[in-house]
């Protein structure tokens, strides 16, 4: 259980961590405290804004929009490396997420999959919105990433938390993908690596200045490290654009085909074709043998006997008709 930092204290710890902080408008008193709890706080959460432009992104996070009133986070991380303070209270950034994840953050244990949306995160997490389109192509400059690491480390340090108190929005709320996209010099934004970088800072004094150098290459050993199942699904399937049923018949009979449905169906059809081909081959082989025998022995053709022999030949092979669609 931790009491949220005051605006003054929050500003002080960020500056002590070497953050370039900009105080935006009435950020100290701009909050959603009248709409719900702010605290006890248990961790920090990293987001991307799905926007571009530093000034407009900061204004958006301060004001919010028609569907979601601001503030939309506590701090906005610009591509310049500057951190803009937009709130020191409850903010609309985390929404409802997984209570199991919150418990893991509180205990600083390994994160479970986020498969529930049963717990208010806006009372529990400080939020950083990093300016990025979130399209998987927009790069986070190294200076912007370093500022985010410092921001998270400063708050963890102030509360006595470890790096396991840092999560990405994608690790909190089902369906979220942020933070997402390439980080300059590092590969895909990777929360495991991000926590490692926060942990590295926390081992040192707040004034430590070497935090911008990656401690280890994030992608050299395992390019999938830190990716969630959702990330992988998005990368592999959605971008292949084969999630919708291909034919009118498919759409009519099964409106919820997933990519794996196509794979299973193709597999079934191939096995079925194998079986039918084997049956045809057996029939032709038996027919050839019979005709040869008839010709050799100058016997007369008994049609019923011929059909029977072909049927037996087909039954003798291992036929697996598995088409179930
Ligand atoms: Zn988010």
CA distance 198 to 157: 10
Identify the segments of the chain with pLDDT beneath 50. Answer: 211-212, 215-219, 241, 320-325
- Ligand 1 centroid vs 190 CA: distance in angstroms? 15
- Ligand 1 centroid vs 134 CA: distance in angstroms? 10
Please report the pLDDT score of residue 208 as a whole number.
92
Burial class (CB in 10 A: 0-12, 13-18, 19+), 241: exposed
Please report the pLDDT score of residue 17 as a whole number.
97
CA distance 104 to 97: 13
Please report the pLDDT score of residue 323 as a whole number.
42
- Ligand 1 centroid vs 218 CA: distance in angstroms? 22
Please report the pLDDT score of residue 34 as a whole number.
95
- Ligand 1 centroid vs 230 CA: distance in angstroms? 14
- Ligand 1 centroid vs 290 CA: distance in angstroms? 73
Of 146, 138, 233, the residue nearest 188 (C-alpha): 138
- Ligand 1 centroid vs 302 CA: distance in angstroms? 78
DSSP code string of 10-55? HHHHHHHTT-EEEE-TTGGG-S-TTTS------EEEEEE-S---HH
- Give me the residues near ligand 1 (ion), CB cutoff below 5 Å: 47, 169, 178
Kindly report the CA angle at 301 between 295 and 306, in degrees rounded to 5? 105
- Ligand 1 centroid vs 196 CA: distance in angstroms? 21
- Ligand 1 centroid vs 183 CA: distance in angstroms? 17
């Amino acid at each position: 259980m931790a009491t949220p930092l005051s605006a003054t204290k929050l500003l002080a710890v960020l500056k002590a961590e070497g953050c370039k902080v900009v105080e935006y408008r009435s950020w100290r008193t701009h909050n959603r405290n009248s709409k719900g709890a702010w605290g006890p706080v248990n961790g920090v959460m990293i987001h991307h804004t799905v926007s571009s432009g530093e000034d407009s992104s900061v204004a958006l996070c301060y004001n919010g929009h028609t569907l979601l009133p601001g503030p939309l986070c506590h701090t906005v991380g610009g591509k310049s490396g500057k951190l803009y303070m937009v709130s020191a209270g409850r903010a609309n950034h985390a929404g409802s997420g997984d209570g199991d994840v919150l418990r893991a953050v509180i205990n600083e244990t390994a994160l479970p999959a986020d498969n529930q949306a049963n717990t208010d995160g806006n009372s529990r997490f400080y939020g950083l919105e990093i300016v990025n389109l979130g399209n998987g192509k927009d790069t986070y400059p190294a200076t912007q990433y370093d500022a985010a690491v410092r921001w998270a480390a400063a708050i963890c340090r102030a509360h006595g938390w470890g790096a396991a108190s840092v999560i990405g929005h994608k690790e909190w709320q089902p369906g979220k993908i942020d933070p997402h996209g390439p980080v300059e010099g590092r590969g895909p934004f990777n929360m495991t690596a991000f926590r490692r970088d926060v942990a590295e800072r926390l081992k040192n004094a707040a004034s430590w200045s070497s935090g911008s150098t990656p401690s280890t290459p994030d992608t050299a050993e395992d390019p999938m490290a830190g990716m969630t199942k959702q990330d992988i699904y998005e990368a592999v399937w959605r971008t292949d654009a084969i999630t919708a049923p291909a034919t009118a018949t498919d759409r009519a009979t099964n409106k919820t085909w997933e990519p794996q449905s196509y794979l299973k169906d193709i597999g079934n059809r191939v096995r079925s074709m194998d079986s039918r081909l084997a049956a045809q081959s057996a029939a032709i082989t038996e027919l050839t043998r019979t005709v040869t025998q008839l010709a050799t022995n100058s016997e007369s053709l008994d049609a019923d006997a011929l059909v029977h022999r072909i049927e037996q030949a087909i039954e003798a092979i291992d036929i697996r008709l598995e088409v179930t669609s």
